[in-house]
Amino acid sequence: MKYKHIVFDIDSTLIDTEYAVLHSLQETIKGLSGREIPCSELRFALGITGIDALKKLEIKDASYAIELWNKKMCSYTNTIQVFDFFFGNKFGHPCGCPCYSSPSSFSFASSANFTRSLPSL
């Protein structure tokens, strides 16, 4: 059977980027405003657009902030893992929480534009 289209959400469905997203956002905010916000208070940013998250954080220059956030995200690519729910392998998440994920054999290329560094499937 041939498929014409396949649609899925990679982030938080196939790959676990939570640690990278939250910590890079935390660094971005500190760099732009000097505010130190715990990751636990930034969890609202998961599942919404970066622009919306930055608006909620009252960051004025969202375009520059997104660029900076992308650059900071690249320094966390080593924490990104592929979820392994199907086999039930339990591995520790980089932040120490007991989530179900598996270390991946691939790594994301370091790039200023993180969204272009995803591997082809």
Tokens of 108: 């994301």
What is the CB neighbour count within 10 angstroms for residue 42?
18
Average confidence (pLDDT) over 32-53: 94
Angle at 67 between CA 66 and CA 72, to 5 degrees: 95
Secondary element (H or E) of residue 22: helix 18-33
| Total count of residues recorded for the chain | 121
Angle at 31 between CA 62 and CA 44, to 5 degrees: 60
Q: Give domain limits for the chain.
A: 15-117
The tens digit of pLDDT for each residue in 59-101 reads 999 999 999 999 999 999 999 888 765 444 444 444 444 443 3
pTM over 0.75: no
| pLDDT value of residue 85 | 57
